[in-house]
Amino acid sequence: METPLRLEEITIRNQLRPGDIGYIIHMHGILYQAEYDYGIEFESYVAKGLHEFIEQYDPQRDQVWVCQHLDRMIGFMLLMHRGENSAQLRFFILQREYRGIGLGNKLMDEFMRCLVNNNYHHAFLWTTHEQEAAAHLYRKAGFTMTQEKNSTAFGKPLTEQRYDLHLKV
């Protein structure tokens, strides 16, 4: 019988290292194809978004959370500044076997703390209708769905959803 994973076994670092970007793209491509049948278009979308993040990275305003277990990346999320007082949550991903242990909640708590500590007034994210567990986390943190649009951007028909959060200042 396998020993169940515990949240305490996961380390989270806040700096990118060489090789991380490629692995994050790879992880998204493999996982989203296996779980949701997304095409190569999704992997390209992630690559472009990560390139944009690196190009405009500001250590005073942006943040990454790289989740590791036994020196292997098992999850990722980033906060990307958008204008003066707004931030975007992007590329939130957890390998299947690391879901349900509280890691998603921990990452959302850290994201929310980062928003407050950096005086952001607003945050948003885009997801799809298929990401029900993630949407539950977003709503629990106070995000509200504000927009839906039909799309084939990831190689199949789906509904993209935008969630927004307005912080009290």
Residue 1: inside a domain: no
pLDDT per residue as tens digits for the range 13-46: 999 999 999 999 999 999 999 999 999 999 999 9
Residue 95: inside a domain: yes
Cα 74 to the center of its chain, rounded Å: 12
Q: Which domain holds residue 136?
A: 7-166
Report the percentage of the chain scoring pLDDT > 70. Answer: 97
Number of structural domains, the chain?
Answer: 1
Q: Tell me the pLDDT band of 3, cut-offs 50, 70 and 90.
A: low
Q: Tell me the pLDDT band of 2, cut-offs 50, 70 and 90.
A: low
* Cα–Cα distance for residue pair 76/103, rounded to 1 Å: 11
Residue 93: inside a domain: yes
What would the mean pLDDT of 159-168 be, rounded to a whole number?
Answer: 95
Residue 161: inside a domain: yes
